Amino acid sequence: MSAKVVVVGSLNMDLVARAQRLPRAGETLPGESFSTVPGGKGANQAVAAARLGGSVAMIGNVGDDAYGQQLRQGLDAEGIDCQGVNTCLGVSSGVALITVDAASQNCIVIIPGGNGLLTPQAVQRFDALLQGAEVIICQLEVPTDTVAWTLARGRELGKQVILNPAPATGPLPADWFAHIDYLTPNESEAEALTGVAVTDQSSARLAGERLLQLGAGKVIITLGAQGALLVTAQGHQHFPVPVVQPLDTTAAGDTFIGGFAAGLVRGLEEGEAIAFGQRAAALSVTRAGAQPSIPYLAELTP
């Protein structure tokens, strides 16, 4: 059976240190705990979509190291089709160095490793996966030419194309927008893409409308505890998020994307799929780690 959600993106091993606060430049702080946790925005979104009811395939790269073996094994254990996960010889797997403070805020340094070697040709080798998909998801932790090729191919195939523009450091190439059905930035990413400082629903609406003007099909701006705002040519709709006590916000956005995609392929209406992703993300922030925090469908079923 073809995978209904295909994720083209990154696989990282997250090296997570917890401390009371984030260090300042040049400062050394005592930490409280350390763990290694499978992550990477691509892999996180694939795991979320799989746990939340989607049939999923992953296209990406790992290195020929112990982390690479663990990352592949983790996806296999979730029932994710890993035929498109390639091992790059002589290269490390992607690594994310994450520090989390007592308020559950984090700072992250990413070493691309094998993710940086994911070429358009590497993705094209698994075009059959793209052809069989209903939803194709991309992020920005692999080379931009690979993202560009995948977005264009998704549009050519008539699939629903989701771009999670993370991490965004500036505007997207102008020719990308016409290939995107759903553009899903958070507040800081929306500001990087538009120059609009996003702090609330009103500023999020303005940023979303600018992204529509650039050619995006629809825009979903995630606002953390303020929920999410869907902006379309027909108007906008706010989706509140359940109130929870956060422990760790790592992978909350990825959980939302995966949950939203899983909802779409399970036949939920657009608004229902957004609300479903919001519920999954809210539950994820009450738990530590990236993939370990992502909930399963049964946990969200009344």
Q: Which two tokens stand for residue 112?
A: 């691309």
Catalytic residue among 14, 65, 181, 254: 254
**Pick from 253, 211, 258: nearest CA to 230:** 211
- Catalytic residue flag (residue 254): yes
pTM: 0.92
The DSSP string of 249-294 is -TTHHHHHHHHHHHHHHTT--HHHHHHHHHHHHHHHTTSSSSGGGP
Give pLDDT tens digits along the chain (302 positions): 567 999 999 999 989 899 999 999 999 999 999 999 899 999 999 999 999 999 999 999 999 999 999 999 999 999 999 999 999 999 999 998 989 899 878 888 889 999 999 999 999 999 999 999 999 999 999 999 999 999 999 999 999 999 999 999 899 999 999 999 999 999 999 999 999 999 999 999 999 999 999 999 999 999 988 999 999 999 999 999 888 888 877 789 999 999 999 999 999 999 999 999 999 999 999 997 778 899 999 999 76
Domains defined for the chain, CATH in brackets: 5-12+39-92+113-293 (3.40.1190.20)
Q: How far is CA 273 from the centre of its chain?
A: 16
- Residue 268 CA to residue 277 CA, distance in Å, equals 11
